[in-house]
Each structure stands twice: as structure tokens, then as C-alpha cells.
Structure 1
Amino acid sequence: MITKTKLKEQIDSFPEQFSIDDLVERLILVEKIEKGKIQSENDEILSESEFDKEMNKWFE
């Protein structure tokens, strides 16, 4: 979940005119990064070997 502060930071980083699509894409990216940080802090990550196994399943 994104905070108002993060939202304001992102809006402030945009030029004076921008598309809503650009903003939505940026907010989705920021939310995914934040989610990844939280998962990493909570050790909710895959080891490299576990990741390789999962990737191999995708290509079977």
C-alpha cells in the first residue's frame, strides 16, 4: 500500500503536465518496490535454487 507522502513525492517529481497513465504506471512500480522491500525484510524471499526450480516449471 502506498502512503499519501509517497504519492505526493511522486506527483512532485513529475513535470507540470503529465498523463494519468504515466502517474498510474509510476505508482504501481513504487507499490511493487515497497512490497518487495517488506517481503525482503520479513524473509519472504526465494533462494536462487528455489527460483531456478520455479522458472523451470514455467517453461515446461
Structure 2
Amino acid sequence: MITKKQLAVTLDKLPEQFSIEDLIDRLILLDKIERAERESEVGNTITETELDQELEKWFK
């Protein structure tokens, strides 16, 4: 979940004029980073070897 403070910081980093799509893209990225950090904190990660195996499946 994004806080008001994170939203304010994100808005401050945008240029004076921006599209709604630009804002949405940044908010989606911020949300994905937050989720990944939470997943990492609880140990819900995979090893590099497991990642390589998954990637091999994708590109077959």
C-alpha cells in the first residue's frame, strides 16, 4: 500500500506537466517495489538457480 508521503514524493519528482499515464506508471512501479520488498522480508524468494530454470522454461 502506498502512503500519502510516498505519493507526495512521487508527485514532487514529476515535471510540472505530466500525463495521468505517467503518474499511473510510476505508482504501479512503486507498488511493485513495495510488494517485492515485503515478499523478500518474509523469505518468499527463489534462488538464482531456480530462476535460471524458470527462464529456461519460458524460452523453450
Query: What's the counterpart of residue 14 of structure 2?
Result: 14
| Runs of 4+ with deviation above 2 angstroms | none
What number of residue pairs does the alignment pair up? Answer: 60
Output the CA distance in 2 between the equivalents of 1:19 and 1:43: 37
- 1:15 maps to amino acid: P
Q: Normalising by the residue count of structure 2, what TM-score does the alignment of the two structures yield?
A: 0.87
Partner-residue secondary structure (3-state), 1:44 = coil
CA shift, 1:47, in A, is: 0.2
Output the CA distance in 2 between the equivalents of 1:5 and 1:31: 14
Name the stretch that deviates more: 44-53 or 1-10: 1-10
Unaligned ranges ≥5, structure 2? none
Output the CA distance in 1 between the equivalents of 2:42 and 2:6: 21
Percent of aligned pairs sharing the same letter: 50
- 2:28 maps to amino acid: I
CA shift, 1:2, in A, is: 1.6
CA RMSD of aligned residues (A): 1.1
Q: Normalising by the residue count of structure 1, what TM-score does the alignment of the two structures yield?
A: 0.87
